[in-house]
Amino acid sequence: MPRSFLVKKHFNSSKKPNYGELDSHTAVLISPFLYERYPVAVIPQSDLLSSVAYSPITSDTSSKDHSGSESPVSDEEERLQAKLCDPHSIEAEKFQCSLCSKSYSTFSGLAKHKQLHCDAQARKSFSCKYCDKEYVSLGALKMHIRTHTLPCVCKICGKAFSRPWLLQGHIRTHTGEKPFSCPHCNRAFADRSNLRAHLQTHSDVKKYQCKSCSKTFSRMSLLHKHEESGCCIAH
């Protein structure tokens, strides 16, 4: 699976973009001080939060926001009222929660119970409209949806990112800023993760160790390559 499968590529080349090919008009518009401080991400909130962006699995979310005169569980109430009017209904005297079977003598009691407890628990699953992923909270889902909508767009090259700080890191590739430096060799890096990987090169005992031959590697990928090359097969 390609690393950047979720990132909108605004250029055809599979390699690094040729920034020299950026049209001169655009380049003129970009102030050299534009990215002195990180730009504000362009985030279409309406897209993030629109009802089409996500679809909670349980359909009873409407009950959460009702505080006025309208009944919070009108459909359920209608059914229960119908049962009440049915002389043959054996449940006419009791209001039982369909989720936990707890019974209440009044409909309002049941409605309150469902609002506070069972519905809240059942609602704990939010599925993404763009893929099959599910999340326990709306916030987590919103964060995930950003990986589809990519609201943070680089003003220099047009590349889009899911989060502002990813864009910040990308902008460093334009500015050349490298705020993370190695305490051992003073080599600077634009990305903290890359510095962390670099620090491994200064260590005699690397972080990732082959279980078969005990050889250590600075990166997981190098260990995987080592294992795939046949070390573990020989053992």
Q: What does the binding site for DNA look like in residue numbers (CB under 7 A)?
A: 1-4, 6-7, 14-16, 41, 43, 49, 133, 137-140, 142-144, 147, 159, 161-166, 168-170, 172-173, 187, 189-194, 196-198, 200-201, 217-222, 224-226, 229
Rounded least distance, CB 84 to DNA, Å? 35
User: Which tokens sit at 16?
Assistant: 């690094």
Rounded least distance, CB 55 to DNA, Å? 16
| Helix, strand, coil percent content, the chain, rounded in steps of 5 | 40, 10, 50
> Which residues on neighbouring strands pair with residue 135, listed in sequence order?
126
Q: What is the DSSP string of 88-141?
A: T-TTTT-EE-TTT--EESSHHHHHHHIIIIIHHHHT--EEESSSS-EESSHHHH
Rounded least distance, CB 219 to DNA, Å? 6
By beta-carbon proximity to DNA, the closer residue of 111 and 145 is 145
Cβ(127)–Cβ(56) below 8 Å? yes
By beta-carbon proximity to DNA, the closer residue of 77 and 227 is 227
Cβ(88)–Cβ(99) below 8 Å? no
By beta-carbon proximity to DNA, the closer residue of 37 and 88 is 37
Residue 106 has a CB neighbour count (10 Å cut-off) of 10
Element of type H or E holding 226: helix 220-228
Rounded least distance, CB 20 to DNA, Å? 15
By beta-carbon proximity to DNA, the closer residue of 1 and 28 is 1
Rounded least distance, CB 24 to DNA, Å? 22
Element of type H or E holding 87: none
Rounded least distance, CB 192 to DNA, Å? 6
By beta-carbon proximity to DNA, the closer residue of 63 and 162 is 162
Q: Name the amino acid, one letter, at 151.
A: P
By beta-carbon proximity to DNA, the closer residue of 46 and 69 is 46
Phi and psi angles of residue 35, each rounded to the nearest 5 degrees, phi first: -110, 25
